[in-house]
């Protein structure tokens, strides 16, 4: 590979990292405007869809952009570094897991076969439980959500 091609590749990678982090941050801020508990828990979370699409299309190396966007948005809403770090880890692991499962089960993003629909639903459901469970656990550990607020516990 020549120097010009390497520069273009590095520029493209850097551009994608920035685009993903900004898209995650902006859509997360919009989603958090609809928060149902404090400023952390919302029923609508577009950034995950963006993260899954970007990671599925461009690869796992862009997971850092997802983490950065999630970390930045949590700091922007006043989270402590502990809360922001913990939530951003879960928000990154979930899309990475979704993409790994989609690839493992040979999901066709054109959804050209009915078998792709249950694969998509199952992968999305399972992987997003990772993010939700991790987020709740971090909020409980950080003292922002009482254990008694979790249904069936406390």
The answer to whether 62 and 20 have CB atoms below 8 angstroms apart is: yes
**What is the rounded CA–CA span in Å between residue 69 and residue 130?**
18
**What is the rounded CA–CA span in Å between residue 67 and residue 82?**
14
Q: What are 37's strand-pairing partners?
A: 41
Q: Would the pLDDT of 154 be above 60?
A: no
Q: Which tops the pLDDT comparison, 109 or 1?
A: 109
**Tens of pLDDT along 7-58?**
659 999 999 999 999 999 999 999 988 877 667 778 778 999 999 999 999 9
Using only C-alpha atoms, what is the Rg of the chain?
17
> Torsions phi, psi of 150, nearest 5?
-85, 125
Say what the pTM is. 0.87
**What is the rounded CA–CA span in Å between residue 121 and residue 62?**
23
**Tens of pLDDT along 88-124?**
999 999 999 999 999 999 999 888 889 999 999 999 9
């Amino acid at each position: 590979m020549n120097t010009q091609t390497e520069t273009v590749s590095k520029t493209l990678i850097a551009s994608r990292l920035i685009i993903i982090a900004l898209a995650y941050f902006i859509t997360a801020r919009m989603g958090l405007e609809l928060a149902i508990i404090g400023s952390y828990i919302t029923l609508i979370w577009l950034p995950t869809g963006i993260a899954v699409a970007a990671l599925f299309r461009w690869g796992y190396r862009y997971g850092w952009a997802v983490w950065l966007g999630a970390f930045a948005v949590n700091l922007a809403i006043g989270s402590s570094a502990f809360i922001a770090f913990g939530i951003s880890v879960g928000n990154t692991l979930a899309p990475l897991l979704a993409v790994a499962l989609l690839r493992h089960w040979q999901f066709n993003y054109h959804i050209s076969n009915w078998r792709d629909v249950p694969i998509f639903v199952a992968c999305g459901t399972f992987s997003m439980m990772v993010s939700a469970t991790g987020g709740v656990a971090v909020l409980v550990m950080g003292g922002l959500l009482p254990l008694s607020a979790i249904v069936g516990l406390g």
